[in-house]
């Protein structure tokens, strides 16, 4: 007979694991990926594959040759980073090499230099995106326009996103709410379709990987705040429905602000976090230099997370 | 349906021994009776080598406050009074008895008649609980006479009987309800009388519909017994959670249930109380479940205290299966892993649970991903991940400031941790460190 | 243009002066008057903050020295006599010379490892494992092997050996006592280093009766007392089935080592006897004169 195992209680485990969580997040990203491929065609597919492959490769290389620790690429977290990074860039030919640099920054600097999964203060995909946005401003804001379904050519027509156009002057009149909801607009490849993102978010909620707190407060705050501005001056500010449907608010609120590692743990902290993200996004969009502020907003709130973890304690049973 | 207010998990119930009726385990050739089968100081042996003892005879006397009497579970000759290794390999004072026949004390009523009337006064009941060595059978083995002596200035308003049996696998309480509902209700009435409270509540998790029906039926014949079905959620049967579920009250930090006007006893205790008060039978038997997915058969037994684990195993299933990974005394969430199978059982043992090698092994620990699942699973609203960090870095003061001592060690945090961190272990270690620090300060 | 530069210079200059004044006032107001001697003493100390002296750190030790004015009851073990002498000079007081000490792990690794009786699967912490059960070897007194001592050592002087029992690197060990404090079973003891680094000690802390102790470990001290009888210095006492060698009395004659029936007594630092490194069992009687268990010789460093 085997030796008896001895440990303190409990002697069972829920079978939940980091690996399962990460692969479920990947599964939740699939609808948005499919929409991206449908609208941006082979470019989107290639950029995603390159991004994921380079994230995984960099993590493997760093763990094997620099940290000399057992590899953890199997847990799927590098794949999540790769997909989210790809979702945050436009699906153009240029991106196929630029995204590799983004992946190196995201994995090498934003994640592994802090000690790997669980220890990074900032969401690696967001850090990677911002690094690219600052380093390659032109390529990062050359948005392919959505043509038909499944375009197989590499050179898609480019143009401004609704947000960019609005910043320049006025919202293109031909963009309807439905277009924005389904994703028939220009933009980064993963952010265009609110529907696909909400599908993924619903799956994550069902699997109890995310809770409603951050997405709802994030989107809600953005909606209310932009609504107030819009009521004050409908010509100078975008209307609130369009505000939350365009740009990265949906993607950010559902997938990037909810990143377990970089968001607060207590529910009350999550509410503040979501509120801060929504507020900062609208502030940056309306009064900042960039047309889009989601990633900056999340990054700033990431840096506040340790404080929120300190201040916001769960309700004690016995107080 | 009632439940407690925060946290909790739902492990697989695995009540596979539900339908196994209680059998009587035969008495072995030699019995070892440990002297500390309860919370507190060990009892003092009052027999010597060569003494003849009868079943139910007092052999260990409670001489300090936090202590309980120990009685002989068998008749025979005392061979030695020497330490014996307990289930965890640690030597404990014990009385070794060679079994000869099965001669019971004359005072014990062994007839099958059920006696309903109890004419004793509350004080007499408590005295008799002490005399009979009754302890809480929910796991903590807290001496019953101390629990039922309400301190000056405090008043019991609720008596709550814990029949939730929220631990996976365990079915001994369920079987007692199914087979001895009347005795249990009499026991509860006696306890109610001892406390002088208007109502006693029996909390039963709703995954035991037959037991709920049976108890409700029986409770109608008694005054002031209310059966309360509870939601199936672990740790529904934890003292503070049960109080919260049944009464809505909350026991404060560092406080006892009586501070909230509640007294909680286990269902098995109520049955033991019945036997002690009405039948004069001291606590010399355990009702325990022999179960496990790997085992060929499932059993519930009534076992004399002092029977070794090996005797129980060989009588019930012959031998442990090849795939055995762990033998647990108690349930999977709060039970203790047994290392010494030659050790005698003690009061409060509720099961011999066998777990396969695969299930028993903990998965390797990985980085904390700060998901907060431990905090949302914690029924006390604590932050296990934080304790893990603080304990590792020896920041004992801070751990105390974050109420580490409120932890009830239910294991929900480890159960739900996707990184497989031994959070419950770390918190236990932290609690020990905090207590050591507080002791050093005094 | 010049005007702009001028404004910038003036503004920054004004700010600089303003903050300098503020800083000066604050520094004056919150000035902490401290004996400069404390700094000097702290300078001499090793600065490892090991806590071996019982103070919170080297600075606290220096403060204690200065406020006390003498060195009674204060000793920096890692610094040794050299550092103590320097502090004595600074304070102008006499310093007791201490015998250099070293940490000794009093548990025999030979029996553990493959003879485990259970598999510990919980938190890797001796302090915690000690609250769960006896440990993998089944010995309720011996080393638990989770390395609380290794984690406690500030000097990288103690490491887990192959058998799951820690091994002390005597060259690095400063006898600060952190490992001994960290050990929940008090297996580790500080003992005098001994002349030429030669030490004899009972490598067991099991107080169970002989037969019981032997069940969990073949090298357990069974408290037979043979060592005490043979000791010319009366340095060995047997108490509670366990013998103990008083290192102050021991002259390292090693009579007890050869006498011990379970080889629980270890000698360290003695030259390897002239016999072949691994004598066959048949040859063993021939080497009776210099019979020193060869297996024990491997660990000269302990």
Q: What is the pLDDT of residues A123-147, one digit of tens each?
A: 999 999 999 999 998 888 888 877 6
Q: Residue C284 pLDDT > 50, yes or no?
A: no
Contacting partners of chain A (3+ CB pairs under 8 A): B, C
User: Mean per-residue pLDDT for A156-174?
Assistant: 70
Instruction: Give per-residue pLDDT as tens, A202-242.
Output: 999 999 999 999 999 999 999 999 999 999 988 888 889 88
CB contact B90 to C (< 8 Å): yes
Integer angstrom CA distances of residue C128 from A163, C147, C301:
58, 12, 29
Nearest to A117 by CA among A53, A200, A59: A59
Please answer whether residues A145 and A158 qualify as being in contact, where contact means their C-beta atoms are separated by less than 8 angstroms: yes
Res C282: pLDDT? 45
Report chain A residues whose CB lies below 8 A from the CB of C123. 7-8
The interface predicted TM-score of the complex, written ipTM, equals 0.91
Q: Residue A159 pLDDT > 80, yes or no?
A: no
C-alpha–C-alpha distance, residues B92 and B385, integer Å: 35
CB contact B362 to C (< 8 Å): yes
User: Mean per-residue pLDDT for C59-71?
Assistant: 84
Res A155: pLDDT? 67
Q: Smallest CA–CA separation between A311 and chain C, in Å?
A: 29
Report chain C residues whose CB lies below 8 A from the CB of B429. 123, 125, 127-128, 131
CB contact C122 to B (< 8 Å): yes
Q: Which of B320, B357, B367 lies at the smallest CB-CB distance from A118?
A: B367
Q: Name the class of domain C36-91.
A: mainly alpha
Q: What is the per-residue DSSP string for A18-40?
A: HHHHHHHHHHHHHHHHHHHHHHH
> Are A5 and C133 in contact (CB < 8 Å)?
no
Give the pLDDT band (50/70/90) at residue A1.
Answer: low
DSSP 8-state assignment for residue A73: G
Please answer whether residues B135 and B144 qualify as being in contact, where contact means their C-beta atoms are separated by less than 8 angstroms: yes
Q: Residue A165 pLDDT > 80, yes or no?
A: no
Reduced to 3 states (helix: H, G, I; strand: E, B; else coil), residue C275 is coil
Lowest mean pLDDT of A297-306, B28-37, C188-197, name the range.
C188-197
Q: Which helix (H) or strand (E) holds A125?
A: helix A124-135
Strand locations in B269-322 (E): 285-291, 299-304
| Mutate which: C114, C118, C123, vs A, most A CBs within 10 A | C118
Q: How many CB atoms lie within 10 A of CB A30?
A: 14
Which chain B residues in 222-281 lie under 8 Å from chain C, judged by CB atoms? none
C-alpha–C-alpha distance, residues A154 and A43, integer Å: 6
C-alpha–C-alpha distance, residues A215 and A200, integer Å: 12
Instruction: Give per-residue pLDDT as tens, C174-185.
Output: 888 889 999 999
CB contact C120 to A (< 8 Å): yes
CB contact C121 to A (< 8 Å): yes
Res A171: pLDDT? 61
Report chain B residues whose CB lies below 8 A from the CB of A261. 369-370
Res A132: pLDDT? 94
C-alpha–C-alpha distance, residues B323 and A2, integer Å: 7
Q: Which of B336, B337, B429 lies at the smallest CB-CB distance from C123?
A: B429
Q: Beta strand pairing status for B225-230 and B200-205?
A: parallel
Res C298: pLDDT? 41
> Are B362 and C128 in contact (CB < 8 Å)?
no
Integer angstrom CA distances of residue B105 from B71, B75, B120, B287:
11, 9, 21, 21
Res C17: pLDDT? 96
What are the structural domain ranges in chain A? 18-139, 210-310
Q: Residue B303 pLDDT > 90, yes or no?
A: yes
Res C95: pLDDT? 79
| Mutate which: C133, C141, C213, C217, vs B, most B CBs within 10 A | C133
Q: For residue B62, how many C-alpha atoms fall within 13 Å in the half-sphere facing its CB? A: 23
User: Mean per-residue pLDDT for A51-60?
Assistant: 96
Give the pLDDT band (50/70/90) at residue A49.
Answer: very high
Lowest mean pLDDT of A287-291, B201-205, C190-194, name the range.
A287-291
User: Mean per-residue pLDDT for B351-371?
Assistant: 91
> Are C128 and B91 in contact (CB < 8 Å)?
no
Res C114: pLDDT? 56
Res B73: pLDDT? 94
What are the structural domain ranges in chain C? 36-91, 101-298
Res A205: pLDDT? 94
CB contact C119 to A (< 8 Å): yes
Q: Beta strand pairing status for C101-105 and C188-192?
A: antiparallel
Q: Residue B160 pLDDT > 60, yes or no?
A: yes
Q: Smallest CA–CA separation between C63 and chain A, in Å?
A: 34
Q: Residue A156 pLDDT > 80, yes or no?
A: no
What are the structural domain ranges in chain B? 22-108+282-359, 122-279, 373-441
Instruction: Give per-residue pLDDT as tens, B194-241.
Output: 999 999 999 999 999 999 999 999 999 998 999 999 999 999 999 999
Phi, psi of C12 (to 5 degrees): -65, -40
Q: Which of B89, B426, B428 lies at the smallest CB-CB distance from C131?
A: B428
CB contact B409 to C (< 8 Å): no
Q: What angle do CA A248, A252, A255 make, to 5 degrees?
A: 135
Residue in C with minimal Cα distance to B83: C208
Evaluate whether the domain defined by B122-279 bears CATH number 3.40.50.11540. Answer: yes
Res B76: pLDDT? 94
Please answer whether residues C121 and B361 qualify as being in contact, where contact means their C-beta atoms are separated by less than 8 angstroms: yes
Query: Any alpha helices (H) in A67-123, and if so which ranges?
Result: 77-87, 95-104
The count of CB pairs under 8 A between chains A and C is: 27
Mean pLDDT for chain C? Answer: 83
Give the pLDDT band (50/70/90) at residue A151.
Answer: low
Lowest mean pLDDT of B135-149, B199-213, C56-70, name the range.
C56-70
CB contact C70 to B (< 8 Å): no
Res A39: pLDDT? 85
Instruction: Give per-residue pLDDT as tens, C252-273.
Output: 888 899 989 988 898 888 887 6
> Are B240 and A317 in contact (CB < 8 Å)?
yes
Q: Beta strand pairing status for C199-202 and C265-268?
A: antiparallel
Sign of CA dihedral A210, A213, A216, A222: negative
C-alpha–C-alpha distance, residues B4 and B230, integer Å: 9
CA A26 to chain centroid: 12
Phi, psi of A171 (to 5 degrees): -70, 135
Question: Over pLDDT 90: what percentage of chain C?
Answer: 30
């Amino acid at each position: 007979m085997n030796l008896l195992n001895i440990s303190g209680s409990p002697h069972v485990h829920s079978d939940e694991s980091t690996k399962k969580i990460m692969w479920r997040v990947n599964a939740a990203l699939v609808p948005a990926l499919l929409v991206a491929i449908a609208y941006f065609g082979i470019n989107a597919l290639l950029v995603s594959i390159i991004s994921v492959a380079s994230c995984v490769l960099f993590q493997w290389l760093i763990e094997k040759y620099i940290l000399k620790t057992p590899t953890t690429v199997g847990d799927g977290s590098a794949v999540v980073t790769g997909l989210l990074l790809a979702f945050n860039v436009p699906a153009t030919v240029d991106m196929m090499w630029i995204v590799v640099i983004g992946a190196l920054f995201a994995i090498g600097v934003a994640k592994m230099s802090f000690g790997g999964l669980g220890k990074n203060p900032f969401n690696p995909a967001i850090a990677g995106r911002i690094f690219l946005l600052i380093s390659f401003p032109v390529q990062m804001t050359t948005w392919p326009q959505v043509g038909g379904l499944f375009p197989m050519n590499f050179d898609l027509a480019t143009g401004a996103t609704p947000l960019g156009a609005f910043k320049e002057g006025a919202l293109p009149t031909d963009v309807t709410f439905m277009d924005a909801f389904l994703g028939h607009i220009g933009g980064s490849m993963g952010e265009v379709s609110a529907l696909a993102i909400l599908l993924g978010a619903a799956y994550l909620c069902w699997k109890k990987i995310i809770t409603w707190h951050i997405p709802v407060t994030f989107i809600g705050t953005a909606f209310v705040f932009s609504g107030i501005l819009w009521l004050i001056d409908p010509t100078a500010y975008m209307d609130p429905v369009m505000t939350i449907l365009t740009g990265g608010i949906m993607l950010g609120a559902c997938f990037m602000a909810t990143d377990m590692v970089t968001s607060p743990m207590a529910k009350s902290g999550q509410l503040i976090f979501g509120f801060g993200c929504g507020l900062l996004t609208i502030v940056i969009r309306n009064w900042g230099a960039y047309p889009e502020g989601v990633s900056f907003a999340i990054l700033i709130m990431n840096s506040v997370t340790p404080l929120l973890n300190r201040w916001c304690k769960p309700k004690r049973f016995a107080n | 349906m009632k439940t407690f207010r925060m946290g909790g998990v739902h492990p697989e119930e695995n009540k596979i021994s539900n339908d196994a009726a209680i059998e009587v385990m035969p008495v072995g050739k030699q019995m070892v009776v440990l002297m500390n089968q309860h919370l507190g100081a060990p009892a003092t042996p009052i027999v010597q080598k060569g003494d003849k003892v009868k079943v139910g005879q007092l052999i260990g006397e409670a001489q300090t406050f936090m202590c309980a009497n120990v009685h002989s579970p068998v008749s025979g000759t005392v061979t030695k009074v020497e330490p014996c290794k307990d289930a965890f390999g640690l030597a404990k004072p014990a009385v070794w008895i060679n079994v000869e026949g099965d001669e019971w004390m004359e005072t014990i009523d062994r007839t099958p008649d059920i006696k309903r009337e109890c004419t004793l006064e509350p004080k007499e009941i408590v005295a008799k609980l002490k005399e009979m060595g009754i302890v809480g059978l929910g796991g903590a083995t807290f001496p019953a006479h101390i629990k039922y002596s309400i301190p000056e200035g405090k008043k019991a308003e609720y008596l709550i009987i814990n029949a939730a049996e929220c631990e996976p696998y365990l079915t001994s309480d369920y079987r007692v309800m199914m087979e001895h509902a009347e005795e249990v209700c009499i026991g509860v009435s006696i306890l109610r009388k001892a406390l002088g409270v208007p109502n006693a509540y029996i909390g039963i998790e709703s995954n035991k519909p037959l037991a709920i029906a049976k108890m409700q039926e029986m409770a109608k014949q008694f005054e002031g017994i209310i059966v309360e079905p509870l939601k199936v959620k672990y740790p529904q049967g934890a003292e503070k959670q049960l109080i919260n579920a049944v009464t809505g009250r909350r026991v404060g930090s560092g406080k006892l249930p009586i501070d909230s006007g509640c007294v909680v006893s286990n269902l098995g205790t109520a049955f033991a109380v019945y036997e002690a008060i009405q039948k004069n039978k001291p606590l010399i038997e355990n009702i325990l479940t022999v179960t496990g997915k790997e085992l060929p058969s499932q059993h519930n037994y009534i076992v004399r205290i002092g029977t070794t684990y090996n005797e129980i195993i060989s009588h019930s299933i012959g031998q442990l299966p090849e795939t055995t990974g762990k033998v647990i005394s108690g349930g999977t969430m709060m039970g203790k892993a047994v290392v010494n199978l030659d050790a005698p059982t003690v009061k409060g043992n509720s099961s011999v649970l066998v777990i396969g090698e695969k299930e028993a092994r903990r998965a390797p620990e990985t980085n904390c991903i700060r998901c907060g699942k431990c905090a949302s699973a914690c029924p006390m609203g604590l932050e296990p991940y934080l304790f893990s960090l603080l304990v590792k870095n020896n920041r004992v003061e801070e751990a105390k400031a974050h109420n580490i001592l409120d932890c009830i060690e239910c294991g929900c945090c480890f159960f739900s941790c996707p990184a497989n961190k031994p959070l419950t272990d770390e918190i236990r270690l932290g609690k020990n460190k905090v207590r050591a620090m507080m002791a050093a300060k005094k | 243009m010049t005007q702009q530069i001028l404004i910038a210079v003036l503004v920054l200059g004004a700010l600089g002066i303003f903050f300098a004044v503020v800083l000066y006032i604050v520094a004056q107001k919150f000035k902490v008057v401290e004996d400069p001697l404390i700094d000097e003493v702290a300078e001499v100390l090793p600065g490892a903050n090991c806590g071996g002296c019982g103070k919170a750190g080297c600075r606290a030790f220096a403060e204690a020295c200065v406020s006390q004015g003498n060195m009674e009851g204060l000793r920096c073990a890692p610094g040794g006599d050299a550092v103590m002498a320097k502090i004595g000079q600074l304070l102008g007081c006499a310093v007791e010379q201490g015998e250099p000490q070293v940490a000794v792990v009093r548990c025999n690794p030979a029996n553990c490892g493959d003879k485990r009786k259970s598999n510990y699967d919980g938190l890797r912490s001796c302090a915690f494992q000690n609250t769960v059960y006896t440990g993998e070897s089944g010995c309720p007194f011996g080393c638990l092997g989770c390395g609380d001592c290794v984690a406690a050592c500030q000097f990288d002087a103690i490491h887990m050996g192959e058998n799951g029992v820690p091994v002390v690197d005597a060259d690095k060990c400063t006898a600060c006592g952190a490992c001994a404090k960290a050990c929940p079973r008090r297996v580790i003891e500080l003992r005098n280093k001994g002349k030429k680094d030669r030490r004899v000690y009972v490598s067991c802390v099991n107080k169970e009766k002989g037969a019981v102790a032997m069940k969990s470990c073949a090298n357990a001290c069974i408290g037979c007392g043979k060592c005490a009888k043979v000791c010319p210095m009366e340095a060995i006492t047997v108490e509670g089935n366990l013998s103990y060698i008083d290192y102050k009395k021991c002259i390292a004659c090693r009579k007890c080592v050869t006498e011990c029936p379970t080889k629980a007594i270890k000698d360290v630092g003695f030259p390897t006897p002239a016999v072949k490194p691994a004598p066959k069992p048949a040859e063993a009687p021939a080497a009776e004169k210099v019979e020193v268990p060869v297996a024990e010789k491997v660990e000269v460093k302990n």
